Amino acid sequence: MTDRYSVIGHPINHTKSPLIHGLFAEVSQQDLEYGAIEGGLDGFEAQVLGFRDAGGRGMNITAPFKLRAFELADARSERATLAKASNALKFEHGKVYAENFDGIGLLRDIEHNLQVPLAGRKVLVLGAGGAARGALLPFLAAGPAHLVIANRDLAKARTLAAEVTDPRVQVCAYDALGGQDFDLVINATSASLVGELPPIGPEVFDHALLAYELAYGKGLTPFLRLARESGVAQLADGVGMLVEQAAEAFEWWRGVRPETRPVIDRLTVPLD
Ligand code: ATR
């Protein structure tokens, strides 16, 4: 019987997940169906369990349900626990397992696809919400020299830093970033979703090799535009992360790692 998977979110009409997983299934010859479900703000949990009870094997979770998916699960990975959010569920042995592959997908895109190893690098992460939380453990495991979290709400950044208790993690106000050197600048805020720039100046990019925008599909965001104007050599939107997190989920569900390069190439939209 064909195994069934789905993504659920609200709204869900722009999702690329069915396309991505469909291509993965084709190239790895896996017999599966992958759909998209418009989640209801009132009925999300019932929809997930209903999908499982109808024989579904796993789901991807997108905004605004990642926290609710995490809470609904019976068992949670360490990554999901720090993120307090889940972007992938697996239904197995009568249980709901929660994972979070966003951070590992981002890391894999940076290190493997963009060829920028994090070891020894100075990393600046903008934002301290769910996206930053998801990135933190995979980033630290990759061995950066230090990782600075900047956020408007500093208390939120401090709470996050306190949860990882790692001496390489520092918290910094936006207006105190000047004079520090960063090799990588990651925009994990949601500012780009509404066309805004986090309160940074061009000086954060003075030594940067890579500026990474997590929001995919927004083109040359104010963050990427500033990075380009500041002469950063590599700019990335979230397409590689999107495909890599999907590949992680696919492997978790199916035990087979699909090739990601052709799918990234297919989804990449030039930034200008
Ligand atoms: P996500 O899951 O996308 O991370 P979130 O948990 O709501 O979303 O977090 C949004 C993040 O974007 C927060 O770090 C927020 O900063 P504050 O905590 O200081 O509010 C950040 N953010 C949103 N809009 C921003 C803007 N215009 N400039 C800077 N940071 C912004």
Question: What's the pLDDT tens digit per position in 15-25?
Answer: 999 999 999 99
Q: Does the CB atom of residue 153 touch ligand 1 within 6 A?
A: yes
pLDDT in tens, 221-271: 999 999 999 999 999 999 999 999 999 999 999 999 999 999 999 999 888
CA-proximal residue: ligand 1, atom 12 (nearest): 189
| 231 in the same domain as 109 | yes
Residue 198 CB less than 6 A away from ligand 1 = yes
Atom from ligand 1 closest to the CA of residue 156: 18
Mark whether 233 and 254 lie in a shared domain: no
Residue 110: predicted pLDDT: 98
Q: Are 186 and 160 in contact (CB under 8 A)?
A: no
b/e sequence 63-90, b meaning 16+ C-beta within 10 Å? bebbebbbebbeebbebbbbbbbbbbbb
Ligand 1 close to Cβ of residue 191 (< 6 A): yes
Q: In this structure, what is the dihedral angle of CA atoms 81, 107, 203, 156, given to the nearest 10 degrees?
A: 0
d(CA 237, CA 240): 8
CA-CA distance, 133 to 157, in Å (whole number)?
10
Query: Is residue 165 domain-shared with residue 192, that is, in the same domain?
Result: yes
Report CA(188)–ligand 1 centroid distance (Å). Answer: 8
In a domain, 162, yes or no: yes
> What is the pLDDT at residue 205?
98
Q: Any catalytic annotation for residue 66?
A: yes
Instruction: Clarify whether residues 65 and 92 are in a common domain.
Output: yes
Any idea what the CATH number is for the domain that residue 74 is in? 3.40.50.10860
**Residues 185, 263: one domain?**
no
* 272 within domain boundaries: no
Q: Is residue 130 part of a domain?
A: yes
* Sheet of 169-172, strand order: 169-172, 146-150, 122-126, 184-187, 210-213, 234-236
Mean pLDDT of 33-42: 98
pLDDT (average), residues 113-136:
96
Contact 196 CB / ligand 1 (< 6 Å): yes
Atom of ligand 1 nearest to the CA of 153: 19
pLDDT at 144: 98
Q: What is the mean pLDDT of the chain?
A: 96
Q: Name which of 22, 67, 72, 70 is nearest 47 in CA terms.
A: 72
Q: Are residues 122 and 201 in the same domain?
A: yes
DSSP H/E element including 226: helix 222-229
Q: What is the mean pLDDT of residues 35-45?
A: 98
For residues 35-57, give the mean pLDDT.
Answer: 98
- Mean pLDDT within 101-107: 97
Prediction pTM value: 0.95
Judged by average pLDDT, the poorest of 1-5, 118-122, 239-243 is 1-5
Residue 272 pLDDT > 80? no
- Structural domains counted in the chain: 2
Structural domain harbouring 200: 103-237
Residue 229 CB less than 6 A away from ligand 1: no
User: Active site residue: 66, 90, 122, 218, which one?
Assistant: 66
What separation in Å is there between the alpha carbon of 6 and the centre of ligand 1?
27
For a pLDDT cut of 90, what percent of the chain falls above it? Answer: 95
pLDDT of residue 246: 98
- The alpha carbon of 115 and the centre of ligand 1 are apart by a number of angstroms equal to 28
Per-residue pLDDT for 216 more than 90? no
